[in-house]
């Protein structure tokens, strides 16, 4: 009972971080990335390149949103001519900036470092290096920032980070939408509002596509007028999938031959990524107020995040499997990393996540918040994409509001993102708090974690950790596999994970990798078909033999050389399952630890329960099926 | 038009509705390009009682869908539209002429507490695009068989003639569409061949040669036994649709009287002619009737670049049926029909009993029928040969399959998977009901097997299918 009560309280805490109307920047600040950087080991310099938009976004954005926030607000102003709001905006910005500077920030970060350093005598040299390196970074970022200041005016950390990329390859946004090359893209994704206004297009400029998107909306509403819902259109080459989510319409035009179900789930990722920046509540509110609102104003600068998401969705099977890929790690190392995270806590901290090479190292979560929910893999994917999509995060510390749509689509968490190993920037720390004002407290946790890592020399161990190759499994004919254990009922709070080796020859080229993934997608769509699911698929083709198998305990996709016989394939799978069983402590996070940051924290931290009796992969009698 | 089949398992009052035809229309966007003239685009619309504006709206949606998909690939526009309640299939058989078929998704109606209307749940993933796309193309092929192309009617009598022809043909044809029983066989649109020893086959060939020699008017001949094809002089595509017409429409219509009096097929009016059992299935029912009409259905088959109009004479003796096709420019009269009857009747009667005898001997040799452990469908794209032990009987009205519809749909799924890549493949799946389904594609041939042994494992299934291939198909399939 007690726990239940706490739980409620906690969820209230979570709720209260919903965007509040008194703070004018609350909603747009999904993009507001307060880039705090310690310069020259001294007091923090805040590079607040937060809320500003690239120039094309209109200035009255902020006002518009403001008015959508609270019931007491005046009616939204009509969309004014662009430009004149810039001043309003910057004044608001500066307000916030001073507000935050006067806040709990007085404690200089550099000092914290200095104070800590003597304790870490053993490691002081490397620390020095780190500090030097980080200040170098600051300089470059500042330089870049100031250049942009002179040039195009302020830009967000996110769009700024993308600019070098843009310089290398011409942006997809400038594509000629009537050209054959535009048509030939494997997968187009469009987002538009119910009024038919373009919000996002993966390729080509939204303006140039506004008539195409208008047709899409017309099709949606025409079918709707007949008390029906449009789902998809099929031609010999393309599958067009329509999805409506609240006031947004998402359309995928794909020649990837994926199933409608899969394309739909990808569109849902896109929608959720938008929600993660704006929250569902505010999207709905904005369009309730103003049907033809141009949402691009709020999403300006974040196209790169959506672009990155779509690239990831195409190339990373995590999305297909709705599971998280962990970096294989000796369980003792993983445990000690978890312990480091467990020790560095502050009130209202709910998740501490350590990521390396875009794979999960460990995750520690607040006990009561998560009592009967868990972090959904999809939410974690969105976070990973956010981090991966912007190299700006490499430049120091980021404090940004972020919504986890599956956890709660209407409220913000506040994410602290910082790399632990600049300048390599492979190990990233992500701390999520429910408290908007907790930046300095959370940043302090990071320093504790830094320190813990240094003491244990953990970074070096992490750097040595590697994914594995199929040949290491030691099963002949096995080229590649994906294995996803299912939660057993008494352990349903476990984060869904999967393991998979690196793709090697003959899947070393980009093209071949995609081909194998496409084969997995096809197997996945058949075995999980909504109307005719299957238990097993054995597919022999000229270039490989594939087997997909779903039981109550796991889901397995394997790829063999084409000449494998059925008997040896079955033999290989038996061996593979045995190998996974043997290695599971290394391949998976077995006992996700927790901590307590509620006002009356229980002493110490408990490890998650259950889990040890999870999958029993080899001797469960399923082999008789084969 | 609703087909209602209560399903026991889903509750006492749940009603299951099978897919059904909602509408069927043909339009040409070039015929009413200006605003206010949209109605002129519509050449045929079923059901005809639909209000004019509604027709225009529905045609407009199809045009918009097709146009929209051209944005992404100008040469490959939309083929189907999926919505919550129905599916629409688009087919452009001749430039600018579009045929659209709208099929309502199957649905389950669940009764609610008193007063409230029942909840309807549409089953959106039950209909296979490949199956209904093929049915739509069949509609056009059948129209073309009896009327020639749309373009031909336009040349002959403009829009007015075309709409008349469409109305006349589809009014009846659509009533024979049984959308709930369509399956993989509709995708193949194959021809079932009658298995025959060489000797009997040569007898038939020489019979055909003799008749064509004596009756020089005959341009093409096709020979069938037991609704299965033995010999055809037509192009494959023409034979495919003619075969479909014969086996699903013409033969079933005439099978009733035959079944009634198989042992004494001599009906009173032909009792005078004791020499043979032959009779016309098209044209005159009784040659002795002084008022008999000598009009035969006309069909259009391909000839060179264009097409050729022919009289279709179908003549049957016992289980043997022969189609004679004669140029439509020739006037057929009583004299010709009597000549044909006199020549073909006795020979065909003899031939039919020969074939029957041979068939029975072969059956005896192959041993008594025992329930096999598997059922299969075979199709060869090269000669359109089709064989199914799943379908007990396929007629116009109903296709009786001996397996669960879901398994039939899995066969359809595997068929789609084969179409993804143009290479030899084998797919073995285990359904949720524990049935094993095996699909093999080798060169132009496809084989689908459903195995009854639920407890078999993958290796046993493989052995079983290997045995089947060895006995029935001479090891055509080499994979593994």
Chain A interface includes B422 (CB < 8 A): no
**Whether residue B234 is found in the same domain as residue B213:** yes
Together in a domain, B150 and B202? no
pLDDT band at B453; cut points 50, 70, 90: confident
Residue B313 lies in a domain: yes
Model pLDDT for residues B137-172, shown as the tens digit of each residue: 999 999 999 999 999 999 999 999 999 999 999 999
Contact B125/A at CB under 8 A: yes
Q: Where are the beta strands (DSSP E) in A119-212?
A: 187-193, 198-201
Put simply, the answer to whether B68 touches A230 (Cβ < 8 Å) is: no
Q: 3-state SS of chain A: helix, strand, coil percent to 5?
A: 45, 20, 35
CB B301 within 8 A of CB B220: yes
* Best of A186, A549, A566 to mutate (most B CBs within 10 Å, chain B): A566
More confident residue, B49 or A112: B49
Residue A239: per-residue pLDDT: 97
Distance CA B317, CA B350 (A): 9
- B266 shares a domain with B382: no
User: Omega before B114 cis (within 30°)?
Assistant: no
- Segment of A150-159, A448-457, B82-91 carrying the highest mean pLDDT: B82-91
Model confidence at B175: pLDDT above 80: yes
Q: Of B317, B345, B366, which residue is a domain's last?
A: B366
Mean pLDDT along residues A555-584: 95
Residue carrying the six token digits 């997608």: A521
Q: What is the mean pLDDT of residues A321-329?
A: 93
Q: Which residue has the higher pLDDT, B198 or A254?
A: A254
* Residue A44, Cβ density class (10 Å: 0-12 exposed, 13-18 middle, ≥19 buried): buried
Among residues 280-309 of chain B, which lie with CB inside 8 Å of chain A? none
Q: Is the pLDDT of residue B241 over 70?
A: yes
Q: Is B474 left (phi over 0), alpha (psi -120 to 50) or beta?
A: left
**Do B10 and B156 belong together in one domain?**
yes
Burial (CB count within 10 angstroms: exposed 0-12, middle 13-18, buried 19+), residue A356: buried
Q: Does A72 contact chain B (CB < 8 Å)?
A: no
In which residue are the tokens 């459903």 written? B450
- Residues B320, B384, single domain; the answer is no
Nearest to B174 by CA among B63, B25, B393: B25
Q: What is the mean pLDDT of residues A314-329?
A: 94
B249 DSSP 8-state letter: I
Residues A618/A581, Cβ–Cβ less than 8 Å? yes
- Chain B contacts of A536, Cβ < 8 Å? 428-430, 458
A236:B79 CB<8 A: yes
**By C-alpha distance, which of A615, A608, A319 is closest to A485?**
A615
Element spanning B171, H or E: helix B150-173
Confidence band, pLDDT 50/70/90 cuts, at residue B370: low
Listed by number, the residues of chain B in 439-468 with a beta carbon closer than 8 Å to a beta carbon of chain A are 457-459, 462
Question: What average pLDDT does range A490-503 have in this prediction?
Answer: 79
CA dihedral A506, A508, A514, A515 (to 10 degrees): -10
Do B331 and B464 lie in one domain? The reply is no
Residue A310 pLDDT > 90: yes
Cα–Cα distance between A533 and A573 in angstroms, integer?
22
> Tokens in use for A71?
């019931």
Contact criterion met (CB below 8 Å) for A546 and A527: no
DSSP string, A427-489: EEEEEEES-TT-HHHHHHHHHHHHHHHHHHTHHHHHHH----BGGGGT-TTEEEEEEEEPPPG
- The structure tokens 């020489």 sit at B206
Angle at the Cα of B188 from the Cα atoms of B416 and B153, rounded to 5 degrees = 115
- Closest-CA residue to A614 (of A585, A575, A594, A576): A585
Q: What is the ipTM of this complex?
A: 0.91
User: Sorting pLDDT into bands at 50, 70 and 90, what band is B84?
Assistant: very high
Token output for A441: 């407290």
Residues B306 and B331 in one domain: yes
- List pLDDT tens digits, range B275-331: 788 889 998 888 888 888 889 999 999 988 888 999 999 999 999 999 999 999 999
Q: What is the pLDDT of residues A265-284, one digit of tens each?
A: 999 999 999 999 999 999 99
Which residue bears the tokens 């078909």?
A529
B353 and B450, same structural domain? no
Nearest Cα residue to B99 out of B53, B146, B62: B62
Q: How many domains does chain B have?
A: 3
Average pLDDT of the residues in A331-335: 93
CA torsion through residues B455, B459, B465, B466, sign: negative
Name the nearest CA neighbour of B191 among B152, B158, B238.
Answer: B238
**Cβ contacts of residue A88 below 8 Å, gap of 6+?**
A59, A60, A62, A63
Asked if the model's pLDDT at residue A156 lies above 90, the reply is: no
Residue B462 domain-assigned? yes
Asked if B457 and A624 come within 8 Å (Cβ–Cβ), the reply is: yes
Least confident of A167-176, B21-30, B442-451: A167-176
pLDDT single digits (tens) A6-59: 444 443 333 334 443 333 333 333 333 333 333 233 333 333 333 333 333 333
Tokens (6 digits) for B443? 């060169």
| Structure confidence at residue A620 (pLDDT) | 36
Say whether A540 and B124 touch across the interface (CB within 8 A): no
pLDDT beyond 60 at A329: yes
B187, part of any domain = no
Query: What is the C-alpha separation between B273 and B257, in angstroms, rounded?
Result: 18
Site from B429, B432, B433 to mutate, A interface, most A CB atoms within 10 angstroms: B429
Contacts of A234 in chain B (CB under 8 A): 78-82, 129
Question: Given the DSSP bridges, would you call strands B425-431 and B436-442 parallel, antiparallel or unpaired?
Answer: antiparallel
Same domain? B9 vs B39: yes
Residue A115: is its pLDDT beyond 60? no
Q: Does B335 lie at the interface with A, CB-CB under 8 angstroms?
A: no
- B143 and B242 housed in the same domain: no
Q: How far apart are CA B316 and CA B323, in angstroms?
A: 9
Q: What is the pLDDT of residue B454?
A: 81
pLDDT above 50 (res B2): no
pLDDT in tens, A392-421: 677 788 899 999 999 899 999 999 999 998
Q: Which domains, and CATH codes, for chain A?
A: 2-315 (3.30.450.70), 324-465+606-612 (3.30.450.30), 470-587 (3.30.450)
Does residue B80 belong to the interface with chain A, where contact is any CB pair within 8 Å?
A: yes
Closest partner residue to A233 among B78, B425, B459, by Cβ? B78
Residue range(s) defining the domain that contains residue B51: 2-180
* Residue after which a domain boundary falls, among B343, B366, B389: B366
- CB atoms A567 and B78 under 8 Å: no
Query: End of a domain among B366, B386, B405?
Result: B366
Residue B426 and residue A540: Cβ atoms within 8 Å?
yes
Asked if residue B396 and residue B358 are part of one domain, the reply reads no
* CATH number for position B412: 3.30.450
Contact predicate A548/A536, CB 8 Å: yes
Q: Is the same domain home to B224 and B323?
A: yes
The answer, for B86 touching chain A at a CB cutoff of 8 Å, is: yes
Looking at the domain assignment, is residue B480 inside a domain?
A: no
């Amino acid at each position: 009972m007690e726990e239940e009560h706490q739980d409620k309280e906690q969820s209230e805490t979570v709720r209260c971080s919903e965007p509040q109307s008194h703070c004018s920047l609350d909603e747009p600040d999904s993009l507001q990335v307060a880039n705090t950087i310690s310069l020259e080991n001294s007091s923090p310099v805040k590079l607040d390149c937060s809320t500003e938009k690239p120039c094309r976004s209109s200035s009255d954005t902020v006002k518009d949103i403001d008015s959508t926030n609270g019931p007491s607000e005046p009616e939204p102003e009509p969309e004014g001519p662009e430009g004149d709001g810039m001043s309003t905006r910057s004044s608001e910005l500066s307000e916030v900036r001073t507000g935050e500077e006067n806040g709990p920030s007085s404690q200089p970060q550099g000092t914290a470092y200095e104070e800590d350093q003597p304790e870490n005598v053993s490691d002081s040299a490397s620390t020095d290096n780190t500090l030097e390196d980080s200040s170098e970074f600051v300089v470059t970022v500042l330089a870049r920032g100031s250049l942009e200041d002179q040039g195009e005016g302020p830009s967000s950390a996110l769009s700024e980070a993308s600019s070098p990329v843009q310089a290398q390859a011409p942006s997809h946004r400038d594509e000629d939408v009537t050209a054959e090359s535009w048509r030939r893209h494997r997968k187009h994704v469009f987002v538009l509002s119910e009024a038919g206004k373009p919000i996002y297009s993966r390729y080509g400029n939204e303006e140039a596509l506004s008539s195409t998107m208008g047709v899409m909306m017309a099709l949606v509403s025409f079918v709707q007028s007949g008390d029906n819902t449009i789902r998809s259109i099929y031609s010999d080459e393309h599958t067009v999938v329509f999805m409506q989510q609240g006031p947004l319409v998402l359309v995928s035009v794909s020649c990837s031959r994926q199933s409608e179900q899969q394309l739909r789930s990808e569109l849902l990722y896109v929608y959720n990524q938008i929600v993660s920046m704006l929250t569902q509540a505010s999207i709905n509110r904005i369009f309730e107020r103003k049907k033809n609102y141009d949402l691009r104003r709020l999403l300006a600068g974040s196209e790169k995040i959506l672009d990155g998401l779509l690239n990831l969705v195409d190339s990373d099977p995590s999305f297909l499997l709705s599971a998280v890929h962990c970096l294989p790690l000796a369980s003792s190392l993983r445990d000690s990393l978890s312990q480091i995270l467990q020790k560095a806590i502050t009130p209202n901290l709910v998740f501490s996540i350590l990521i390396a090479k875009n794979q999960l190292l460990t995750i520690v979560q607040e006990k009561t918040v998560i009592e009967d929910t868990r972090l959904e893999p999809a939410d974690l994917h969105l976070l990973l994409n956010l981090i991966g999509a912007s190299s700006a995060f490499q430049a120091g510390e980021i404090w940004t509001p972020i919504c986890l749509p599956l956890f709660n689509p209407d409220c913000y968490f506040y994410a602290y993102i910082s790399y632990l190993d600049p300048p390599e920037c492979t190990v990233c720390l992500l701390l999520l708090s429910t408290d908007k004002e907790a930046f300095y407290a959370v940043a302090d946790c990071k320093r504790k974690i830094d320190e813990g890592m240094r003491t244990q020399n953990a970074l070096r161990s992490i750097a040595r950790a590697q994914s594995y190759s199929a040949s290491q499994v030691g099963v002949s004919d096995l080229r590649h596999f994906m294995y996803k254990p299912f939660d057993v009922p008494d352990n349903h709070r476990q984060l869904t994970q999967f393991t998979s080796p690196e793709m090697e020859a003959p899947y070393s080229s980009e093209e071949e990798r995609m081909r194998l993934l496409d084969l997995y997608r096809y197997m996945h769509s058949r075995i999980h078909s909504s109307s005719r699911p299957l238990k097993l698929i054995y597919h022999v083709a000229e270039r490989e033999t594939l087997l997909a198998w779903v039981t109550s305990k796991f889901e397995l996709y394997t790829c063999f050389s084409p000449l494998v016989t059925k008997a040896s394939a079955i033999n290989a799978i038996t061996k593979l399952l045995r190998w996974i069983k043997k290695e599971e402590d290394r391949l998976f996070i077995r006992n996700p630890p927790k901590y307590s940051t509620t006002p009356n924290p229980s002493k110490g931290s408990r490890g998650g329960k259950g889990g040890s009796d999870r999958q029993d992969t080899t001797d469960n009698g399923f082999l008789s099926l084969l | 038009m609703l087909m209602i089949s209560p399903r026991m398992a889903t509750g006492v009052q749940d009603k299951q509705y099978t897919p059904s035809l909602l509408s069927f229309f043909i339009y040409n966007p070039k015929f009413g390009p200006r605003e206010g003239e949209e109605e002129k685009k519509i050449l045929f619309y079923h059901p005809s009682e639909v209000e004019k504006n509604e027709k225009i709206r529905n045609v407009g949606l199809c045009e918009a869908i097709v146009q929209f998909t051209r944005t992404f690939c100008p040469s490959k526009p939309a083929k189907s539209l999926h919505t919550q309640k129905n599916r629409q299939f688009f087919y452009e058989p001749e430039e600018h002429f579009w045929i659209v078929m709208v099929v309502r998704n199957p649905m389950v109606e669940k009764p609610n507490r008193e007063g409230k209307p029942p909840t309807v749940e549409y089953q959106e993933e039950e209909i296979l695009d490949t199956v209904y796309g093929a049915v739509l193309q069949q509609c056009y092929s059948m129209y073309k068989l009896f009327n020639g192309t749309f373009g031909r009617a336009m040349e002959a009598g403009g829009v007015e003639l075309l709409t008349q022809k469409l109305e006349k043909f589809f009014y009846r044809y659509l009533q024979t569409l049984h959308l709930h029983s369509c399956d993989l066989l509709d995708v193949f649109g194959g021809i079932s061949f009658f298995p025959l020893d060489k000797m009997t086959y040569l007898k038939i060939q020489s019979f055909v040669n003799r008749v064509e020699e004596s009756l020089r008017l005959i341009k093409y001949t096709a020979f069938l036994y037991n609704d299965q094809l033995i010999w055809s002089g037509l192009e494959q595509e023409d034979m495919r649709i003619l075969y479909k017409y014969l086996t699903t429409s013409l033969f079933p219509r005439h099978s009733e009287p035959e079944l009634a009096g198989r042992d004494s097929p001599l009906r009173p009016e032909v009792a005078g002619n004791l020499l043979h059992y032959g009779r016309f299935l098209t044209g005159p029912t009784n040659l002795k009737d002084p008022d008999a009409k000598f009009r035969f259905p006309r069909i259009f088959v391909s000839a060179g670049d264009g097409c050729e109009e022919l009289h279709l004479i179908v003549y049957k003796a016992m289980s043997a049926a022969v189609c004679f096709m004669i140029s439509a420019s020739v006037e057929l009269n009583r004299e010709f029909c009597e000549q044909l009857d006199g020549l073909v009747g006795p020979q065909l009667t003899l031939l039919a009993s020969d074939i029957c005898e041979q068939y029975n001997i072969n059956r005896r040799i192959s041993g008594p029928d025992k329930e096999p452990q598997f059922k299969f469908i075979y199709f060869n794209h090269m000669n359109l040969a089709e064989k199914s032990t799943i379908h007990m009987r396929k007629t116009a009205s109903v296709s009786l399959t001996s397996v669960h519809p879901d398994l039939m749909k899995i066969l359809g799924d595997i068929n789609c998977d084969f179409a993804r890549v143009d290479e030899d493949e084998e797919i073995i799946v285990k359904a949720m009901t524990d049935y094993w389904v095996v699909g093999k594609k080798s060169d132009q041939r496809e084989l689908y097997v459903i195995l009854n042994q639920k407890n078999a494992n993958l290796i046993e299934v493989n052995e079983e299918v290997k045995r089947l291939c060895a006995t029935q198909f001479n090891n055509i399939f080499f994979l593994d």
